Amino acid sequence: MARKLTTLVYALKDNRVLLMRRLKEPNLGQWTAPGGKIELHESPAECAVRELREETGLVALGRPELRLIVTETSPLPDWQWLMFVYLVREVAGEVVPCAEGELAWIPVDQVLHLPIPQADAIFYPYVVDGSPGPIAMKFEYDADLKLVRWRIE
């Protein structure tokens, strides 16, 4: 059972956050932050910057801010994740179409009204609230990928 190492990167602009409505699994049809798998040669921060550029066309200005380290587990061998969740407060460039999903700038206070993954609905406020980070969180799912418990570690 291998754990997938990934990043998510929330980009802010004018009190809005850039989200993607996913066109494929995991989280098909739901809104998430851009992100992806960490390549062997990169750090999590390098992955976040690369994925932001590849999926959105935006360039992070300054260093991405590590906000969360999220562990997701389940009885399923292919649902074992370790995610590094970043916040980017300044970006340059224009959003380009993405094969992964539809991109949209969403007002920061409207994100929780969208269809988003169960864990994202819990951890999103910690990403944008400005509190000191990073915070470690663990989410445990059942075999149907329903969230059964979570905690801040």
Mean pLDDT of the chain: 95
pLDDT > 80? residue 1 = no
Residues paired with residue 66 on neighbouring β-strands, in sequence order: 86
What value does the mean pLDDT take over residues 9-33?
Answer: 94
pLDDT band, residue 26 (cuts 50/70/90): confident
Q: Tell me yes or no: is domain 4-152 CATH 3.90.79.10.
A: yes
Q: How far, CA to CA in Å, does 46 sit from each of 7, 50, 69, 110?
A: 10, 6, 15, 28
